[in-house]
Amino acid sequence: MLIKRKKKVLQKAARILVAHQEPKSIISEQFRTIRTSIDFSTPDNDLETLLVTSAAPSEGKSTIAANIAVVYAQNGKKVLLVDADLRKPTVHYTFSLMNNVGLTNLLAKNTTLQVAVKKSEVEGLDVLVCGSIPPNPAELLASKSMDNVLEQLKEQYDLIIFDAPPLLSVTDGQVLAQKCDGAILVVSSGSTEKENIVKAKEALLLTKTPILGVVLNNFNLTKDHYYYNYYRMEE
């Protein structure tokens, strides 16, 4: 009972935009490192769509996706963060936005891009929230309409980051991955099962989308860790 309630609260809580709020913190620096790693792993710079997913729920996908979006925006790119988790959307909490119109409405052709895409308080970062929760998320994401929307978005943005549902829970992640140029697997240190990460990798491999790499979340940074010392000294 207690555990259940706790999980629910977590779901509603806003993900922390560390990279925006505390740009000088160690964690923000780590996100910038991730950005650099992504850039290095795609030297031809053809990365337009990036999928952020994980094996199981609550491993930090939304936090990682939002913060990567922020650091890319800070780098001068025009970035769009798409809440592609049509089952448990959270991006609108993170950016304090209304979830009235969003991706699902776009896919259902109920609205236009101009209305659906919202500006965030981070310069250069726009957000496309989930919108009304549909009964058939996987079908929606696989639809032709999704391809059309993606095409339109690609014209307007340098980078589109998808906050996807967990791979092992639902098929949405795989469906989305097929449409993306690269995928990032979020692994939570101390909570992701070893078995699951192997399964998640296999699920992603099926989609033929290149896996750019893994982001290790919730890592226990000890005081003697080199990252820690280096940036503490600067402050």
Please report, as ranges, the residues that interact with another protein according to CB under 8 A.
13-14, 16-18, 21-22, 25-27, 30-31, 33-34, 37-38, 41, 60, 63-64, 67, 95-96, 121, 184-185, 187-195, 197-198, 201, 211-221, 227
d(CA 221, CA 30): 11
Residue owning tokens 């207690």 = 2
Amino acid at 95: F
d(CA 19, CA 161): 16
The nearer residue to another protein, 179 or 210, going by C-beta atoms, is 210
The nearer residue to another protein, 17 or 164, going by C-beta atoms, is 17
Instruction: Work out how close the CB of 202 gets to another protein at its nearest, in angstroms, rounded to a whole number.
Output: 9
Instruction: Work out how close the CB of 82 gets to another protein at its nearest, in angstroms, rounded to a whole number.
Output: 20
The nearer residue to another protein, 43 or 190, going by C-beta atoms, is 190
The nearer residue to another protein, 106 or 200, going by C-beta atoms, is 200
d(CA 83, CA 62): 9
3-state secondary structure 136-162: CHHHHHHCHHHHHHHHHHHHHCCEEEE
Q: What is the dihedral of CA 189, 195, 198, 200, to 10 degrees?
A: -80
The nearer residue to another protein, 59 or 141, going by C-beta atoms, is 59
Instruction: Work out how close the CB of 76 gets to another protein at its nearest, in angstroms, rounded to a whole number.
Output: 20
d(CA 202, CA 74): 33
Instruction: Work out how close the CB of 109 gets to another protein at its nearest, in angstroms, rounded to a whole number.
Output: 32
- For residue 16, what is the DSSP state? P
Instruction: Work out how close the CB of 99 gets to another protein at its nearest, in angstroms, rounded to a whole number.
Output: 16
